[in-house]
Amino acid sequence: MSAKRDGRIVGLGILAGGESKKMCNIPYCATEYLHETGVRELDMVIEHNDFLLEASSEDEIRSAMINQWLKQVRRVCELSVPGTSRGEWLSDAINPIKYGMQRYDMTMKSHAMDLEEVRRVGGDPVTLLDGKTRSKIRRAKREYSALGELRIETASTVVQGLEWLDSLEMLHQKRWIAKGEPGCFSNPNFVRFHRMMIARNHGNGRAIVMRVNVGDAALGYLYGFTDKERFYLYQCGFDYEMVEKNSMPGLVCHVLAMQALADRGLKMYDFMAGCSGYKSALSNVEESMTWTIFRSHSVRFGLIERVNPILAKMRCHKKRLIMAFESIRTRSDLPTTSSNTVNQGI
C-alpha cells in the first residue's frame, strides 16, 4: 500500500494475506497482516511496527492508510497490526465500526533503560537499579573479575559480526535446549534473515553485535539494532558455566552494554516486549507494545468464541487419555518377576 501527495510517495506499507484460520480443518477466517505473513516459520517477531511515513504529517497519513485498508474489506476476515509501540495511534481518526469491523487489542509491557539518565549519574547504570539487583551485579562482577579483566567490544567488520553471531547462536541454543525448548536459531529462515541484516547494516551502524570478555574468554554476546538514538536489543547468548558461584552473565553483560552505548551518545536501551524478570530489573522506563486485530462483524466469530473453550477441553481430555494409555502400556511392558522367569526356565 502506498500513499501519495502531489505525486510523491509519503507512505508505504506491506500487507500480506496469510494462511486461513481453521477449526477442525475447516477455514473460517482470512487474515491480512501489516508486515507479517501469518506463517509462523517465515515471520520474525515484529515490534515498534508502523507504516513508513513522511515525518511532517505521520498521523494524518497513517490514519488515511488504515482507513483505506479497512474500507477495502469485502469478506469475513481479520486485519492484524502486530507490535505497535504506540497503540493509541490506531485510534485517532479511525472508526472501524464505520466499515463493519470491531477492534481488539492485546497490550504487553516493554522495558527500557534511559541512557541519558545513565550519563547524568556518571555512566554507571547500576546506581539506577534497586538494591537487590545492585548487589547481584556487584557480586557477579567480583567473581568474573577474579578470572580476568571485564571489558566489552563491538564487532568492527561484517565478518567479525557474523562470527560473533555464530557464537551467540551456540550459547543461546545451548541454554534453551537445556530447558527443553528448540530456541529461535533452530529456524533456518531466522538465521538467514539476521545474517543478511548484519551483512547489510553493519557498515551504517544500524546492526550491532557486541562481545563481553573476561580476560581472553567470551562471557556473552548481544545483538540488536540502532535507530533514532535508540538501541533495540534483539538476541543474546551468555556463558553460564564460567563461574559456579554468583553466575549472572546476563545482568553483567547488559550493564556493560548500557555503559558502552551511553558513551556513544545513544538515548535508550530498549529491551522490547516481554515479562522476563531481568528486563524489569535492569530498566527505569516502562512502555508498552500493542497487537491489534480489526475483525469483521460475523456470527461465525461468536460461534468460534463459544466453541473454542469446548474444543480446548476435549483436546486436554484426549491428551490425558493418551498419557494414561501410555502409562498402562509401559507397565505391561515391564520385565517379568523372578518367580516368572524361573517358571519359564530362564
The residue count for the chain? 346
Q: What pLDDT was estimated at residue 307? A: 63
Residue 184 near residue 168 (C-beta atoms within 8 A): no
Residues 6+ apart with CB under 8 A from 272: 47, 48, 110, 232, 233, 234, 289
Supply angle C-alpha 78, 47, 225, rounded to 5: 150
Is 189:42 a contact under the CB 8 Å cutoff? yes
C-alpha cell at 342: 524361573
Residue 313 clears pLDDT 90, i.e. is over it:
no
pLDDT for the residue numbered 331: 61
User: Lowest-confidence range among 40-54, 84-98, 306-320?
Assistant: 306-320
Q: Is a pLDDT exceeding 60 seen at residue 338?
A: no
Q: Is residue 159 very low, low, confident or very high in pLDDT (cuts 50, 70, 90)?
A: very high
**Mean pLDDT to the nearest integer, 28-34:** 87
How large a percentage of the chain has pLDDT more than 70? 85
Contact 17, 32 (CB under 8 A): yes
In the predicted structure, residue 170 carries a pLDDT above the cut 70: yes
Q: Phi then psi for 267, rounded to 5 degrees?
A: -105, -20
Q: b/e for 160-179, b at 16 or more Cβ within 10 A? A: bbbebbebbbebbbebbeee
Fold of 111-287: Aminopeptidase (3.40.630)
Q: Which pLDDT does position 346 carry in this prediction?
A: 34
Output the pLDDT for position 109: 92
Confidence band of 339 (pLDDT split at 50, 70, 90): very low
What pLDDT, on the 0 to 100 scale, is given for residue 101? 87
More confident residue, 40 or 252: 252
DSSP string, 35-70: S--S-TTTPPPP-S---EE-GGGHHHHHHHHHHHHH
**What's the average model confidence in pLDDT over 290-300?**
81
Q: Does residue 82 contact residue 36 with C-beta atoms inside 8 Å?
A: yes
273 pLDDT more than 80 = yes
User: What letter would DSSP give residue 13?
Assistant: -
Instruction: Check pLDDT > 70 for residue 115.
Output: yes
Residue 274 has pLDDT above 50, yes or no: yes
Task: Kindly write down the DSSP assignment for every residue of 268-295, as one continuous string.
Answer: EEEEEE---HHHHHT-SEEEEEEEEEEE
Cell of 41: 516459520
Q: Does an H or E element contain 142, and which?
A: helix 131-145
Report the mean per-residue pLDDT for the chain: 87
Q: Contact at 8 Å (CB) between 49 and 90?
A: no
- What is the predicted pLDDT for the residue at 344? 38
Query: How far apart are alpha carbons 225 and 239 in whole angstroms?
Result: 22
Q: Where are the domains of the chain?
A: 2-100+297-320, 111-287
Please report the pLDDT score of residue 42 as a whole number.
86
Say whether pLDDT at 16 is over 80: yes
Give pLDDT, residue 341. Answer: 37
Confidence of residue 343 (pLDDT cuts 50, 70, 90): very low
* Closest C-alpha among 257, 263, 173 to residue 271: 257
C-beta separation of 188 from 229 below 8 A: no
pLDDT bucket at 337, cuts 50 / 70 / 90: very low
Mean pLDDT of 272-282: 90
Mean pLDDT computed over 215-221: 96
Residue-wise pLDDT for 230-268, tens only, equals 999 999 999 999 998 878 999 999 999 999 999 999 999
What confidence category does residue 306 fall into, taking pLDDT thresholds of 50, 70 and 90? low
| Cell, residue 109 | 509491557
3-state secondary structure 214-266: ECCEEEEEEEEEEECCEEEEEEEEECCCCCCCCCCHHHHHHHHHHHHHHHCCC
For residues 283 and 271, is the Cβ–Cβ distance under 8 A?
A: yes
pLDDT at 311 over 80: no
In three-state secondary structure terms, 327 is helix
Most confident of 265-274, 299-308, 316-325: 265-274
pLDDT > 70? residue 87: no
Q: For the packed helices 188-201 and 158-178, what is the interaxial angle rounded to 10 degrees?
A: 150
- Min mean pLDDT across 124-128, 271-275, 340-344 is at 340-344
Q: Which residues contact 139 (CB under 8 A, 6 or more apart)?
A: 246, 248
Question: Which band of pLDDT confidence, cut at 50, 70 and 90, is reported for residue 299?
Answer: low
Parallel, antiparallel, or unpaired: how do β-strands 2-5 and 217-227 relate? Answer: unpaired
How many helices (H) and strands (E) the chain has is answered by 9, 14
Mean per-residue pLDDT, 317-341: 60
pLDDT surpasses 90 at 279: yes
